[in-house]
Amino acid sequence: MEKNKLGAFASELLKIRKSHIRISPIKKETHNFINDILQLLFPHFTEHVYYSPAEIESKLQLLRRNLKNLLLALNIAEPKADETASSFISKIPEVNKKLWLDAEAMFKGDPAAQSIDEVIFAYPGFTAIAVYRLAHELFVLKVPILPRIMTEYAHQNTGVDIHPGAVIGKSFCIDHGTGIVIGETTLIGDNVKIYQGVTLGALSVDKKLAKKKRHPTIENNVVIYSQAVILGGDTVIGRDSVIGGNTWITQSVLPNSVVYHTSEVKVRQNGHNNEPLDFVI
C-alpha cells in the first residue's frame, strides 16, 4: 500500500474508532460480571465459600459497583448508572428463585438426570437460561449492549441462542439444548419444555418490523420436540399442546393440540430388492 493511501486509511480508521464504543474491555468485563453472579448464586460454579450473610451482602454490593462501572463505560450518566445498578441488584433474589424452579423442571423432565445438582453442574440448557434471566433484567431496564453480550456469551458456550428481550415464564425446561433459537419478541408461558434444534423465529427479517412482535407465543404446559420451527408474531401455540419433531408451523394451534410431521420410511434387506435408490447430493 502506497504511503499516501496508508495515511488516508489511518485517518479514516481513527475517525471510525472514535465514533464507536470501545467494546473489547467491556465485553471481557461483562463476561466476568456474569460469571461472578453465577458463582455467588450457585456454589457449583466456584470453590469460594461464604460463611455469613454479611459476606454475601458485601459481594452483592461489589457486583453493584462493577455493574455501575460497566454502565459508565457505556457513557451512561452517573446518576442513571447508579440507579440502574441498584435496580438490577434488587432483582437478583427473584431471579434466583426462578432459576431453582428451572433446575427442578429440568431434573423432573429428564429421566437421565440424577439430581438437581447434576443439572446445575452439567446441563448447558441451565447455564443458558441462567444467563438469559439475568440479561433479561438488564434488557427491561433498557441497558444497551450488555444484555446481548451476556446472551451471546451463553450462546457460544452452550449452543443455545436466547435473545434477552424474550419473555419466559416459570419452570422452563431445556433438554439437550444445542441449536435452540428463541427470538426477541417470543413470549413463553409457565412449565414449557423444548428440545434441541427448536426455532422460535420470525416470518420476516425486514428491518421495518424491528419494533413489532415478530416471534411466536407459547402458552403454558407446551412441549416442543426437536427441530420444530415455529414462526410469526401472530402464531400462538395453545396451552397443553405437544408439537412434534421436524414440524414447520406458521399459524396458531388450539389448546390441547398434538401437531406432528409424517414421512415415509422404507426398510428392506440389503441385496434382496432391485428397487433403485435415488440419491441427491
The pLDDT tens digits of the residues spanning 175-186 come to 999 999 999 999
Is 152 exposed, middle or buried, given 0-12, 13-18 or 19+ CB atoms closer than 10 A?
middle
pLDDT in tens, 240-281: 999 999 999 999 999 999 999 888 777 777 666 565 544 343
Residues 6+ apart with CB under 8 A from 212: 185, 233
- Give pTM, 2 decimals: 0.86
**pLDDT on residue 279:** 38
Contact 211, 192 (CB under 8 A): no
Structural domains in the chain, CATH included, are 19-160 (1.10.3130.10), 179-263 (2.160.10.10)
